């Protein structure tokens, strides 16, 4: 499967954004936000970085709880939805601010600013090894010393490959998604063809994710300047790895 290395620059628009806007129920977002606040040990008024933030569902929920959020994403369409959805979330006392930044996930020009940061969903691994390390280093540099970082990824080889299905399908709202997976062990990448069926018609797009061993992810985190505190009880039977770390 031929997928350009910069596939993510043009992937997140149109039907992809529409699907994600319908994919996660509000109650699940509330549960996720509560879990992040616990993992990151957020205190009232804490400044938090969400990168990449997509349409901002978690950033908006955390802002509504009184934290100060900055969401970073490369998708202008996703950010437009985020800005529209966050109107009116700021409290009269100034808490709960949320700001949106159109940037590459490696471009975080706020040295030592944030109390905490998170990267959730399947957003880690879009880049090559050097790019993923650059992203983690950028997050570490944006955190205050001791600031916490939650990294979530399903791209852990030990748990990904045994459960990988060739052609699973999903439904979100009025959109159907058929996924065709091809794992290339020489590159350590999962190449994916996405077929979207919506009221507007059929559309096919392609993406690729770097899959790492558990140890490789820990090595990347250490090289970026993080001390991993917890893996939330990950095992090879887990569908997702969630690491909680702090900046050294």
Instruction: Note the pLDDT tens digit of each residue in 195-207.
Output: 999 999 999 999 9
Residues 14 and 94 in one domain: yes
Confidence of residue 1 (pLDDT cuts 50, 70, 90): confident
For residues 101-128, average pLDDT: 97
Sign of torsion over alpha carbons 221, 141, 248, 151:
negative
> Tokens 């998170």 sit at which residue?
118
43 assigned to some structural domain: yes
Instruction: Note the pLDDT tens digit of each residue in 25-69.
Output: 999 999 999 999 999 999 999 999 999 999 999 999 999 999 999
Residues 88 and 132 in one domain: yes
Distance, in Å, from the CA atom of 200 to the CA atom of 211, rounded to the nearest integer, reads 33
For residues 144-158, average pLDDT: 98
> Tokens 């991993």 sit at which residue?
228
Residues 81 and 195 in one domain: no
> Is 90 a residue whose pLDDT tops 80?
no
Question: Domain containing 33 — which CATH number?
Answer: 3.40.50.150
Most confident by average pLDDT, 55-69, 77-91, 94-108: 55-69
Residues 109 and 146 in one domain: yes
Residues 172 and 135 in one domain: no
Confidence of residue 94 (pLDDT cuts 50, 70, 90): low
pLDDT of amino acid 91? 57
Residues 80 and 113 in one domain: yes
Residue predicted with more confidence, 88 or 174: 174
> Is 95 a residue whose pLDDT tops 80?
no
The mean pLDDT value of the chain amounts to: 96
For residues 95-114, average pLDDT: 94
pLDDT of amino acid 113? 98
Q: Which two tokens stand for residue 69?
A: 């959020």
* pTM of the model as a whole: 0.95
Number of domains in the chain: 2
2 assigned to some structural domain: no
pLDDT of amino acid 87? 84
Containing structural domain, residue 81: 8-154+212-247
pLDDT of amino acid 132? 98
Distance, in Å, from the CA atom of 144 to the CA atom of 116, rounded to the nearest integer, reads 8
1 assigned to some structural domain: no
Please report, for residues 27, 32, 69, 168, the alpha-carbon distance to residue 243 in angstroms, rounded to integers and kept in the order given: 23, 14, 20, 26
Percent of the chain with pLDDT over 70: 96
3 assigned to some structural domain: no
For residues 108-123, average pLDDT: 97
Residues 192 and 143 in one domain: no
CA-based nearest residue to 18, from 69, 54, 42, 65: 54
Residues 108 and 168 in one domain: no
pLDDT of amino acid 41? 98
Residues 200 and 218 in one domain: no
> Is 92 a residue whose pLDDT tops 60?
no
């Amino acid at each position: 499967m031929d997928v350009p290395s910069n596939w993510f620059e043009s992937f997140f628009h149109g039907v992809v954004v529409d699907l994600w806007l319908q994919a996660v129920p509000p109650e699940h977002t509330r549960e996720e936000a509560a879990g992040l606040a616990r993992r990151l040990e957020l205190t009232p008024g804490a400044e938090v970085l969400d990168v990449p933030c997509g349409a901002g569902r978690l950033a908006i929920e955390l802002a509504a709880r009184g934290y100060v959020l900055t969401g970073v994403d490369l998708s202008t369409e996703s950010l437009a939805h985020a800005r529209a959805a966050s109107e009116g979330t700021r409290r009269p006392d100034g808490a709960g601010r949320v700001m949106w930044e159109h940037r590459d996930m490696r471009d975080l020009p706020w040295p030592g600013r944030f109390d905490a940061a998170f990267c959730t969903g399947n957003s880690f691994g879009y880049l090559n090894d050097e790019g993923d390390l650059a992203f983690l280093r950028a997050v570490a540099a944006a955190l205050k010393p001791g600031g916490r970082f939650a990294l979530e990824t399903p791209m852990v080889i030990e748990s990904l490959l045994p459960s990988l299905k060739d052609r699973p399908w999903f439904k979100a709202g009025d959109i159907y998604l058929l996924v065709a997976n091809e794992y290339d062990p020489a590159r350590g990448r999962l190449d994916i063809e996405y077929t979207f069926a919506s009221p507007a018609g059929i559309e096919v797009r392609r993406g690729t994710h770097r899959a790492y061993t558990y140890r490789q992810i820990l090595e990347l985190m250490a090289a970026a300047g993080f001390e991993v505190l917890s893996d939330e009880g990950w095992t090879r039977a887990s569908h997702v790895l969630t690491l909680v770390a702090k900046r050294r």
